[in-house]
A and B are shown apart, each in its own frame.
Chain A
Amino acid sequence: MQALSVRHLLGIKDLTPADIQLIFETADNFKEVLSRTIKKVPSLRDITIANVFFENSTRTRLSFELAEKRLSADVINFSASGSSVKKGETLLDTVNNILAMKVDMIVMRHASAGAPHFLSRHIKANIVNAGDGTHEHPTQALLDSFSIREKLGEVGGKKIAIIGDILHSRVALSNIFALNKLGAEVMVCGPATLLPRHIADLGVKVELDVRKALAWCDVANVLRIQLERQQMKYFPSLREYTLYYGIDKKLLDSLNKEIVIMHPGPINRGVELSSDAADSHHSIILNQVENGVAIRMAVLYLLASKVS
């Protein structure tokens, strides 16, 4: 019998490679459950989960909600817009009020890095980080690695390039941690202004030329330009970014090799990824979304066994 080494999923940084393998193996089983006519199992029927979203989300929120319902948990949804947060309630008060209604687990997205870590020190419920500022987005990284494993057989030894806005991306950081733990080679690529300083200290290669990065890698994880997080201009114009860093079918064909294209969504079509590339046979973007539900079921299932 195995169990996770953690009580909360705050970030990939805290997980061991064995934890990640256990999550993957459990997700394999849930993928099979999701292919049945009745896609529901009763495992979490005595658990109540609150999805607390202080920031906008489509995919992650729907994916978590579906995962919770497929596990038969009771689900309540909370979003900051239209709530008392607007009246000045603190994060801890908001969450404590939700917990007073006998909630066992919290899935939280917050615009501030470290918000779930802060909560984990003050409340008893198990916390799953669904994205905190520009810090981590662990379930996204897990489903990305899971999708690579599904497509290429394994993650270890594979070359993964993360391309785009690395500076503002929690997906990039969580992916780097996960891929490193699984033994993959990682490269980050983007304009110098969108690469964090000292990023190479995390054990990743740094490349400024997207063509060289694509020629090197087996898998390209293309990230969105996060205009909403950019307080200043990091490049002259979107058009110029697309010219130098945009990936289209022509560029992929010119590589003359098999390459896997991933994107955590939402895609800015025609900016970082052209439509013909996003919809080509290289792309596993929709597989990522499908695997997201299985991965989140696995995480919730494994953490639920630690609910006191």
Chain B
Amino acid sequence: MQKRLIVPDQLLDIMIQRLAHQLIENHVDFSNSVILGLQPRGIFVSERLQQKLQAILGFPVRTGRLDITFHRDDFRRRESPIVANATHIDFHIENKRVILVDDVLYTGRSVRAALDAMIAYGRPASVELLVLIDRRYTRHLPIEAKYVGQYVNSLPAERVLVEWKNEETAANNIWLITKKEEN
């Protein structure tokens, strides 16, 4: 297994800073906008974005967590079911401008499931997608992100790993991992 660093800690911080500013450019005071992080890994991005936005704007930005497990299209196509995570949305999304946030955009299937899951909570005025990494030329569905941290050209055998600093990892890093040839 090969591991290549594509976004180091310092750059990741700048990237989130830039995405926050891009959001402010379009949403100005966030009075009618909400952020939804996709479980499980998108919530780390949405929480950092929320912190950054609140630091710049000086007022709270509504942020929720959306779980898509029961809306996935690969149920029963896997060996075992995916364990669900909590959905936590303590505001109405009816007529709101929703920003969906995930770490990596790959086939687009998670985003499709997220759109489906989100509709159960109301009818938003508009929906936008923000991702840290957009893997180009890998989409299975006609889904594109409006805000992108970085585009990455990658092969299907590769995987993008976004690591967040915790007890086990020392820093925030984004890696491109090449799996071993399987014969």
Contacts and interface: CB of A to CB of B under 8 A. Distances in A.
Interface of A: 1-3, 22, 25-26, 28-29, 32-33, 36-38, 40-43, 46, 301-302, 304-305, 307
29 contacts: A1-B78, A1-B80, A2-B80, A3-B81, A22-B83, A25-B83, A26-B83, A29-B67, A29-B69, A29-B87, A33-B120, A36-B120, A37-B121, A37-B122, A38-B120, A38-B121, A40-B120, A41-B70, A42-B70, A42-B71, A42-B116, A43-B70, A43-B71, A301-B81, A302-B81, A304-B75, A304-B76, A305-B81, A307-B76
Contacts of A41: 70-71, 120
B82 interface: yes
B84 interface: yes
Contacts of A32: 86-87
Contacts of B80: 1-3, 305
Interface string B83-118: 111110000000000000000000000000000100
Nearest to B87: A32
Given A41-B71, A305-B75, A305-B76, A1 B82 contact: yes
A33 B119 CA distance: 12
A33 to B, nearest CB: 7
Contacts of B83: 1-2, 22, 25-26
Per DSSP, are chain A's interface residues mostly helix, strand or loop, or mixed? Answer: loop
Nearest to A70: B70
Given A33-B120, A301-B70, A307-B76, 7 more contacts: A2-B81, A26-B84, A38-B121, A46-B76, A301-B81, A304-B76, A305-B78
Contacts of B121: 36-38
Nearest to A29: B84
Contact of A33 (B70, B72, B75, B78): B70
Contacts of B76: 46, 304-305, 307
A306 B68 CA distance: 20
A29 B119 contact: no
A38 B119 contact: yes
Nearest to B70: A41
B39 to A, nearest CB: 10
Nearest to B80: A3
Nearest to B76: A305
A302 B81 CA distance: 7
Contacts of B82: 1
A63 B72 CA distance: 24
Contacts of A36: 120-121
A26 B84 CA distance: 7
Contacts of B122: 37
Contacts of B81: 1-3, 301-302, 305
Contact of A29 (B75, B86, B116): B86
A270 B125 CA distance: 55
Nearest to B84: A29
B75 A43 contact: yes
A304 B78 CA distance: 12
B87 A37 contact: no
Interface string B56-82: 000000000001011110011011111
